[in-house]
Amino acid sequence: MQRITEPDSLQLAFSVAFPSLVLASSSPNRRSLLENGGSEVRIFIPDADETKDGSNPLETVLKIAERKLDIYLASQLFDPSLPAISCDTMVLIDNMLLGKPQDEEDATKMLRQLSGRRQSVISAAFIYLPEKGKIAVPDEAGVIFRNLSEDEISAYIKTGEWQGAAGGYRLQKTGYTLIDRIEGDWTTVVGLPLKKILSRREC
For residue 5, the number of C-alpha atoms closer than 13 Å in the C-beta half-sphere is 1
CA pair distance 15, 33, nearest whole angstrom: 10
- CA 163, 33, 178: angle at the middle one, nearest 5? 50
What's residue 49's pLDDT? 87
Q: Mind listing the pLDDT tens digit for each residue in 70-96? A: 999 999 999 999 999 999 999 999 999
Higher pLDDT, 60 or 6: 60
What's residue 189's pLDDT? 96
Please say if the pLDDT value at position 123 is more than 80.
yes
**Of 193, 201, 202, 196, which Cα lies nearest the Cα of 34?**
193
pLDDT grade for 30, boundaries at 50, 70 and 90: very high
What's residue 54's pLDDT? 83
Catalytic residue from among 8, 88, 180, 185: 88
DSSP SS3 for 101 = coil
The arithmetic mean of pLDDT across residues 107-125, rounded, is 97
What's residue 44's pLDDT? 98
Domain architecture of the chain: domains with CATH: 9-202 (3.90.950.10)
What's residue 120's pLDDT? 97
Please say if the pLDDT value at position 132 is more than 90.
yes
Please say if the pLDDT value at position 22 is more than 90.
yes
Catalytic-residue membership of 185 = no
pLDDT grade for 174, boundaries at 50, 70 and 90: very high
